[in-house]
Amino acid sequence: MLLDTRGTPGYNLNDSKYAMVRSNTQTPKQVQAMQYQTPQRKLYYNFFLVCVTIMLLIAHSVSGQQNKPKKKRPPFRWVNELKQELPGVQHATFCSPSMKVDVGYCIYLPPQYNNPQNRTKRFSVVYYLHGGRPGSETKSVRLVEHIHKQIAAGKVTPMIYVFVNGGPVSHYNMPDRKHAMGEDVFVKELIPHIDATYRTIAARKGRAIEGFSQGGRGTTRIMFKYPELFCSAAPGGAGHATEKRISKENGRESANLVFVKGDNTYDLARKYAMHPEPALRILIHVGTKGFNYQNNLAYMEFLNSLNIPFEQLIVPNAPHSAMQIYEKEGLKIMQFHADNFRRAAQKS
């Protein structure tokens, strides 16, 4: 039998030429056959070593990624600095009556707002609810790059945009936590402050609500809870699969996050469908490449089953990104709000 010094048939690895070691029991014909097989075996052996090396490198890389400490989420703050300049955007605060702390917001005023000829003119307002947790008034403000471009070009009626800080659990009320009533701070405190501070159309006919991802969930909950406050609603990319699970599990999203029973996009829609007044004008928007695409389609089917009317904006090849959806179809969302403001004004 042929053995190398490591026990591999056919090679002596101490010899740089991998010379064959012939035993006394081998015939010349056997030796010739083994020598014929040597190059092929050598190729297989080298290939085996390469594969093992690659597997070890991959395992080391994966292990390093798993052991790498996760980036810590920044602590929640009710006031966050706006670190970039955007056209028409101001950062401001108000003192929350319920919490006795300052709350930040970003507001976009269209160029027409400061025109001396419009000193008495009032403007409609779109309240924008950011995605992600925890809240920050600066999270979605870059959308102004697209918003301002369309308004400045005269492609849509001038509107004010307010970017909301959603609180510790973005846009949701958590009564068991200190200073965590994000929904109430928005609806009951920020909106009255905006109406008292700026030249807004301080009525339902002049208000819209919009949001994406977590903000889409918040928009959907709030529009069904407070249809008397908004004449236009545009939830986008919302995680309705999570909301459906919350509905089925009596308010439980996770072990550490439990909402009041019925406070979810499914149960609130059912409740609204029983008495759909005042009528909501809804635009659901989502990208086909977004990870919430399928559960938004399922939610649309659910609304159809309740006979709740809505419009849909499906953006081909758009990922789960409000910015990329606005790059492609943001003007349509803005025109949806503008059209609803016009309709509501005609009815009043």
pLDDT digits (tens, 9 = 90+) for 153-195: 999 999 999 999 988 888 898 888 888 899 999 999 999 999 9
pLDDT interval class at 14 (50, 70, 90): very low
Query: At which residue do the structure tokens 């994406």 appear?
Result: 212
Q: Which of 197, 173, 202, 203 is nearest to 185 (CA)?
A: 173
Range of the domain at 34: 1-69
Same structural domain, 94 and 50: no
76 is a domain residue: no
Same structural domain, 234 and 332: yes
Cα-Cα end-to-end distance for the chain:
100
Name the domain boundary from 69, 97, 116.
69
* DSSP conformational letter for 181: B
Q: Which of 14-18, 60-64, 80-84, 222-226 has the lowest mean pLDDT?
A: 14-18
Same structural domain, 215 and 307: yes
Same structural domain, 195 and 339: yes
pLDDT, average across residues 235-255: 93
74 is a domain residue: no
pLDDT interval class at 23 (50, 70, 90): very low
pLDDT digits (tens, 9 = 90+) for 125-158: 999 999 888 879 999 999 999 999 999 999 999 9
CA–CA gap between residue 198 and residue 208 (Å, rounded) = 16
111 prior amide bond cis, ω within 30: no
Q: How many domains does the chain have?
A: 2
Q: In whole angstroms, how far apart are CA 171 and each of 58, 69, 166, 174, 231?
A: 42, 29, 4, 10, 19
Instruction: Give the pLDDT of residue 135.
Output: 77
β-pairing, 283-287 vs 311-315, is parallel
Same structural domain, 41 and 169: no
Residues 130 and 105: beta-carbon distance below 8 Å: no
Name the domain boundary from 10, 40, 69.
69
Cα angle 302-304-305, degrees, rounded to a multiple of 5: 65
- What's the pTM value of the predicted model, to 2 decimals? 0.79
331 is a domain residue: yes
